[in-house]
Amino acid sequence: MKTHTRVRALLRSPVALALALGLGCGAEAPDPFAGPVPAQCPATTREQSMVVTHLEMLQQNMGVSDGFDLDGRVSDATDAQSCRHHDFTSPTGTPGIDNQLALLVPALATATSGALDAAIQAAINNGQLMLAVTIEGVDSRVDDPCVTLVFRRVAGTPFVGSDMRIDPGQTFDTMHDQPVSRVTARLRNGVIEAGPFSLDLPLAVLDARFVIPLRGARVRLRWKDDDTFEGVIGGAVNAQQMIATTQTFTIGSQLSGLVRTLILSITDMDADAEGHCLSFSAAVAVQGRQAFVNP
> What would the pLDDT profile of 234-243 be if each residue is shown by its tens digit?
999 999 999 9
**Any bridge partners for residue 219, and if so which?**
194, 233
pLDDT digits (tens, 9 = 90+) for 85-95: 999 999 999 99
The DSSP output letter for 81 is G
- Give the pLDDT of residue 120: 92
Q: For residues 127 and 158, is the Cβ–Cβ distance under 8 A?
A: yes
Pairing of strands 48-57, 269-271: unpaired
What's the confidence (pLDDT) of residue 29?
66
Q: Report the distance separating Cα 68 and Cα 95, nearest Å.
A: 9
Average pLDDT over residues 123-150: 94
Nearest to 241 by CA among 212, 221, 218: 212
Mean residue pLDDT across the chain: 88
Task: Let me know: does 212 contact 200? Beta carbons within 8 Å.
Answer: yes
Contact of 154 with 174, CB cutoff 8 Å: yes
The whole-number average pLDDT for the span 268-293 is 96
pLDDT at 204: 79
- pLDDT on residue 254: 65
Q: Is the pLDDT of residue 118 over 60?
A: yes
Question: Alpha-carbon distance 106 to 110, whole Å?
Answer: 6
The CA dihedral of 94, 97, 101, 107, to the nearest 10 degrees, is: 40
Residue 250 has pLDDT above 80, yes or no: no
The rounded distance, in Å, linking the Cα atoms of 101 and 232 is 14
pLDDT given for residue 192 in this prediction: 97
Q: Which of 79-88, 113-122, 174-183, 286-295 has the lowest mean pLDDT?
A: 113-122
Of all residues in the chain, the percent with pLDDT exceeding 70 is 88
- In angstroms, the CA 3 to CA 19 distance is 20
Q: How far apart are CA 148 and CA 153, in angstroms?
A: 17
Helices (DSSP H) in 51-139: which residue ranges? 105-111, 116-125
Q: Mean pLDDT over residues 79-106, rounded?
A: 95
Between CA 247 and CA 210 the distance in angstroms is: 11
Q: How many residues are given for the chain?
A: 295
* Res 14 pLDDT > 50: no
Spatial contact of 82 and 269, defined as CB atoms under 8 Å apart: yes
